[in-house]
Amino acid sequence: MDFLTLIQILDSSVRLAIPLLFACLAGLFSERAGIFDIGLEGKMLMAAFFSAAVAALTGNVWIGCLAGIGSAVSLSAIHGIASITFRGNQLISGVAINFLAAGLTVLVAEAWFSQGGRTPSLSGFGENARFNGITLPFAEQAAEGGMLGQVYSELISGHSILVYVGFLTVPLTWYLLFRTRFGLRLRAVGENPAAVDTAGVSVVTLRFAAVGICGVLCGLAGAYLSTGLQAGFVKDMSSGRGFIALAALIFAKWRPWYALAACLLFGFLQALSLRPDAVERITQMDVPGQLLDALPYILTVVILAGFVGKAIPPRAGGEPYVKER
């Protein structure tokens, strides 16, 4: 495999890892505060639909992105009310959100566009209807400058703005969680909410804040999926990415930088399924395409089977907090 092919595979890995990264960080905020959220899939799917639909109706991808974020935050609010206010079962609430999103997106898409549960292709609505790649300074000249130039021009340059936002979100998440008072309190809520309450800090407010941040990040994941990675919405286009993000979160042991590495690994496996010719050259074997497509899901099962017992979640995770009187 030549160097340019490797760079192209890594480039695809980055693009495919971004929705996983947003969703993984979303789950990190929520679960660090003690709220398990398996509804990441549904929030991402809902955001993907409304981002593409509103972008198609307005011709403006930024308005579509805001609509996607708003829809994901709305589902987060439902999850928060069910699991925080009414102290319902967090897993059941997450499952309900996934079912709601899977059905509602197709229903509304058919009512609005009458195209079998999908939105029109954003390619026909002008350049402003989707996120396009950004060519960084001197990228074209660097392409002729050897290996380092190809890395800059092919791997670093040419991504949409949400890709760069995704990578920037990792250090921001680390700083917010581990270097600020808000982050300290948020992590304490996931470990010992009674102690936080005793200190005079509202457990409910912190958990709702975490759930709200989770909604915003899921909205960005869905918006990138339908307006950056692809040019429109199709039924069930999240394709289990929310569950893969949860597996990456467990694999990363609820830490931002490890989450980045885990999501890049999953993105790399997805990228390999797009280049079976390169895999065949590396392995000198005719690897079935179905096996390559299944690799991310196989790794998800392996992680859940092998790391769930070893990765220790926040101690108060999944437990509703009842204030003592």
Tell which residue, 205, 221, 185, has the closest CA to residue 71: 221
Residue type, 235: K
Work out the angle at residue 294's Cα, subtended by the Cα atoms of residues 290 and 299, and round it to the nearest 5 degrees.
155
Whole-number Å distance between alpha carbons of 163 and 22: 10
Token digits of residue 148: 């380092």
Among 267, 325, 318, CA closest to 38 = 318
pLDDT in tens, the chain (325 residues): 577 788 888 999 999 999 999 999 999 999 999 999 999 999 999 999 999 999 999 999 999 999 999 999 999 999 999 999 999 899 999 999 999 999 999 999 999 999 988 999 998 887 889 999 998 887 877 777 778 888 888 889 999 999 999 999 999 999 999 999 999 999 999 999 999 998 889 999 999 999 999 999 999 999 999 999 999 999 999 989 999 999 899 888 899 999 999 999 999 988 888 877 776 666 666 777 677 778 888 877 777 776 655 677 888 888 888 776 5
**According to the model, what pLDDT value does residue 1 have?**
56
Number of other residues whose CB lies within 10 A of the CB of residue 38: 19
* Count of residues in the chain: 325
